[in-house]
Amino acid sequence: MIGESFIDTGVDKKESFINTGIEKLNRLLEGGIPNGFTTIILGSPGSGTEILVKQIAAVGNVVYITTEETKDEIIDTMKRFNWDLSKIDFVDISSKYYSNVLEGEERRVCIYEQRSKLKLKELIELGSSPGMLSTVISEEDYLAILSNKIKDVSYGEILIINSLDFFLSQYRQEDVLKTIYAAKVGNLKNKGALIIVMTKGVHGELFERKMEALADCVLELDVIQKGSSFERYLSVKKMRNYAKKIGIARYVIDDSGFVLEMIERIM
């Protein structure tokens, strides 16, 4: 390893990068995220991936697909950090999903109340009638929403998917992987940045390896307990065609957001 003071921060003028909005992360990546790169952010619980992607989103020209938090929740958090929201296009799948869940629950309650008022004979007759007392509601195809939005992303835009966990809980891994591959191809064409958040160690080692193989850049966030305290580390595990950029940095999350401290390059 070599210390931060030995890191080459010079950027080839022929190269073009997407600014992460975090000065030391740009430095760790020696310029930022290369245009057209697909970046996977693997985070363990408590690592603060949601803060990192919000801070990146504040750089502007961003399509933010949210499944873990509603649009309003994200806006409230970003306002707390005084981050710019003016150039973010939110796709609020979270609110759509919660609305469907609540609609389904209300329907079940209504059916339960209806059943409780019926005599047994009437209940049997009603239950045998086609289409009666069904709790099934028409749900939206969230993967289709994602696919359609991918097609609309403009040249040079940042597309953030936070997080892939939601789609993996709703669809087969193979279908999700195909959609992400299509997003990768579109991002490469648009010379933007595709950033995908996924919880580490939840979806199986094989699927994680597939995602890492598909990605151009892999950032991994970990929380390590040391005695009675915890330390957070960000690792650059992969950077396609930029092997010298593999490194690790300790970070904290304070009132200004995601702050990288000591940077080390792994040789």
What CATH architecture does domain 4-265 belong to?
3-Layer(aba) Sandwich (3.40)
- Which one is predicted more confidently, 110 or 46? 46
Q: Where would I find the beta strands (DSSP E) of the chain?
A: 17-18, 33-34, 37-43, 62-66, 88-92, 158-162, 193-199, 217-226, 229-239, 247-254, 257-265
pLDDT at 13 over 50: no
CA angle 215, 219, 223 (to 5 degrees): 145
Question: What is the percent of the chain with per-residue pLDDT over 90, rounded to a whole number?
Answer: 64
pLDDT in tens, 141-183: 999 999 999 999 999 999 999 999 999 999 999 999 999 999 9
pTM more than 0.85: no
Rg (CA), the chain: 22
pLDDT at 25 over 70: yes
Check residue 211 and give its pLDDT. Answer: 97
